[in-house]
Structure 1
Amino acid sequence: MSERFSFTLNATDGAARTGVIHTPRGEIRTPAFMPVGTAGTVKAMMPDSVRATGADILLGNTYHLMLRPTAERIAALGGLHRFMNWERPILTDSGGFQVMSLANLRKLTEEGVRFSSHIDGSKHMLSPERSMEIQRLLGSDIVMCFDECPALPAEDKVVAESMRLSMRWARRSREAFGDRPGHALFGIMQGGVTQDLREESAKALVEIGFEGYAIGGLAVGEGQEAMFGVLDYAPGFLPEDKPRYLMGVGKPDDIVGAVERGVDMMDCVLPSRSGRTGQGWTRRGAVNLRNARHRDDPRPLDEACGCPACRNYSRAYLHHVVRADEIIGSMLLTWHNLQYYQDLMQGLRDAIAAGSLAGFVAAFHENRARGDIEPL
């Protein structure tokens, strides 16, 4: 185990990279997909089951945990790792995105954001300093700067003002974070879909200096083409020797495209949320288990998958428990989806290491284009 936070780049294939993030709580193989455990749990999963899929790190959420059960309570109970029984690394986001998207009656100033809780209407203030304090109380291994994320599309002037505010907040986050060996603070690049704003943001962050860098403000309504357009240049503005994290992404083809463009880390609620709504992600695309075509089908959801849902149950059974709203439906499909995502990441890591990424990506798209297996 490493006593400090560091990043080793092992191989590249075009812009794509594979390596290892070293932390005192364990290694994170990159490119990495981080399951989202918003409120101290990956919904419908036990922590050891999440680990069994191949996940090296989870994501927790500052906004949700500060409101319930509170960061102070979690700290008194031994920190988030002990609280949720996950001993490996945890990344916590800063709360900024949720304040913008969920909170009521928010007021944004240079100091931070005053808002009313979406749970009970209680009043709160979230600033760079408070966000750093909450994430310290949670004990997260990778801490995110407090930033503002405007919804796209937005005028360049609005995006520029928001980005510059986020850069001032990034400096305050760095100062408030202090010296915490073994823990890392990541800066967040903003700037919408405008190249010169992205470059200005990256320069400001690199000047402050962080252990890793995130590409924020994407997957917020701009569409895949615009997102890939930004990713064609944005990772290149960031230091090669530090991890690059694309926040809130995404669908499997988003992930593959991001990795091709030099991204090392991603997170998304999609695999777990889809699992709770009867959708399974497979090598041949998404499958809706609610559809009647599955009710007499004895075949597995994905014969190439080794998860319990595919190993032990038929499509007919999954269809039945999903339609009956049985909890096991959410459990099995969430496990399957997380397994599929982690298998995809392992495939990407292996292909980059072998210098065969182009072939892997071509096969990935070819399989998905075939669509689901023929009905019986």
Structure 2
Amino acid sequence: MTQDFGFTLHNSDGMARRGTVHTGRGDIQTPAFMPVGTVGTVKGLYLDQVKDAGADIILGNTYHLMLRPGAERMDRLGGLHKFIGWDGPILTDSGGFQVMSLSALRKISEEGVTFKSHVDGKLFEMSPERSIEIQGLLGSDIQMQLDECVALPADHDTMKSAMELSLRWAERCKTAFGNQPGKAMFGIVQGGDNVGLREQSAQALVDMDLKGYSIGGLAVGEPQEVMLAMLDVVCPILPTTKPRYLMGVGTPQDLLRSVAHGVDMFDCVMPTRSGRHGLAFTTRGRVNLKNARHAEDTRPLDEGVNCTASNSYSRAYLHHLIRSNEMLGMMLLSWHNIAYYQHLMAGIRDAISNNNFAQFAEETEARWAAGDIDAL
């Protein structure tokens, strides 16, 4: 029997929450970081590596998968899970972020968004109903409403208009989604950096009684302190009995501090994108493997992380690979970064369970600030 979608809150430590999201394809331990597999691949990694690193769930993107291979084709092939060989939960972004990032290639109306494909120039129309239909054809377990995301800074009228349109689209997405056992549709709180708009958006979505709530329109140009201030506005309004997902965030520090403000779920391309550019996130902060200081450094990247890429190759070798522009170097650093993010989230979960999250956060940030002090 398919497990009903739900959320169990196991413990709270301040605003930080330790929980489990239940889906028809398995549980997600929270706080959770979801590796991004935009077009059905977490770049540079086998999905076995992603799972072994500790990820319970990955993310796919409705807009990109709509363009290729196409939603109907994906359905004929048995859905996204079968297509890519992933048997755990998958969350799909609705395409709303592309409403912002591809602004030169789209037009917005009350009905929806018309996209001009960045691949071949073909026109696509995406209404709230079509977004949910595509996500259903992909077979995703957690689906996002279609929304309008605004880059910051923005004027009040622009943020208000986008927020109100997103609420109307949320109602339509909820109707289109209906009742799907073991699955959920999340609403997305918008409102830019305006307290009143964020409060209005959050309360309206809560009144819709959705299965989960996302916080969108942050990490789009504003300082971290503004993002955290908006979390302080939104999270107390959201129900304690349902999961909270901060979209597109972010650095390890973003994750750690956002957990302290009440967030349960995260996603970001940063671990793999940084890995492809020679940057590693470690228990002692960021390490740029392009730097000459690593040319004869025989130490592993991070012995504390349970990952072959982290503890079985020397920094000298990784430096050589990155400086030589070898694909293997990008793959190893991406693998390590995904493993480190999961290592960090596991530590956060344990700390909340043991009611010592504040101490864990302070010590973690202190190690990052001290840096790689043993480097040659």
TM-score by length of 2: 0.98
Equivalent position amino acid for 1:51 in 2? K
Provide the residue aligned with 1:67 in structure 2.
Answer: 67
Provide the residue aligned with 2:329 in structure 1.
Answer: 329
Residue 104 of structure 1: how far off its partner (Å):
4.1
Residue 304 of structure 1: how far off its partner (Å):
1.6
Is contact 1:113–1:125 with CA below 8 Å preserved after alignment? yes
Is contact 2:301–2:311 with CA below 8 Å preserved after alignment? no
Residue 3 of structure 1: how far off its partner (Å):
1.5
Match of 1:233, SS state, is helix
Residue 103 of structure 1: how far off its partner (Å):
5.8
Equivalent position amino acid for 1:209 in 2? D
**1:82 pairs with 2:86:** no
Is contact 2:214–2:247 with CA below 8 Å preserved after alignment? yes
Distance 1:257 1:202 in 2: 21
Shift of the 372–2 alpha-carbon distance from structure 1 to 2, 3 Å rule, reads farther
Is contact 2:198–2:233 with CA below 8 Å preserved after alignment? no
Q: Deviations over 1:215-268 (max 9, x none)?
A: 111000011011011112211111110000000000011000100000000000
Match of 1:336, SS state, is helix
Provide the residue aligned with 1:245 in structure 2.
Answer: 245
Residue 179 of structure 1: how far off its partner (Å):
1.7
Distance 1:112 1:269 in 2: 26
Provide the residue aligned with 1:16 in structure 2.
Answer: 16
Could you tell me which runs of 5 or more consecutive residues in structure 2 were left unpaired when the two chains were aligned: none
Is contact 2:146–2:170 with CA below 8 Å preserved after alignment? yes
Residue 2 of structure 1: how far off its partner (Å):
5.7
Distance 1:69 1:104 in 2: 23
Equivalent position amino acid for 1:141 in 2? D
Provide the residue aligned with 1:162 in structure 2.
Answer: 162
Residue 190 of structure 1: how far off its partner (Å):
0.6
Residue 72 of structure 1: how far off its partner (Å):
0.8
Q: How does 1:1-376 map to 2 (within 5 A)?
A: 3-102=3-102, 104-376=104-376
Match of 2:105, SS state, is strand
Residue 100 of structure 1: how far off its partner (Å):
2.3
Identity of aligned residues (%): 60
Q: Deviations over 1:29-53 (max 9, x none)?
A: 0000000000000000001110000
Equivalent position amino acid for 1:130 in 2? R
Is contact 1:103–1:118 with CA below 8 Å preserved after alignment? no
Q: Deviations over 1:96-149 (max 9, x none)?
A: 111321364311110011120011100011110110010000000000000000
Is contact 2:199–2:233 with CA below 8 Å preserved after alignment? no
Distance 1:2 1:54 in 2: 23
Distance 1:129 1:65 in 2: 16
Distance 1:105 1:255 in 2: 31
Is contact 1:7–1:22 with CA below 8 Å preserved after alignment? yes
Residue 275 of structure 1: how far off its partner (Å):
0.8
Distance 1:372 1:323 in 2: 20
Equivalent position amino acid for 2:171 in 1? R
Off by >3 Å, runs of 4+ in structure 1? none
Q: Deviations over 1:311-351 (max 9, x none)?
A: 21100000011111211111111111011100100111000
Cα RMSD of the aligned pairs, angstroms, is 1.1
Distance 1:176 1:22 in 2: 22
Is contact 1:104–1:117 with CA below 8 Å preserved after alignment? no
Equivalent position amino acid for 1:192 in 2? G
Distance 1:74 1:324 in 2: 37
Match of 1:273, SS state, is helix
Is contact 1:104–1:115 with CA below 8 Å preserved after alignment? no
Distance 2:173 2:232 in 1: 28
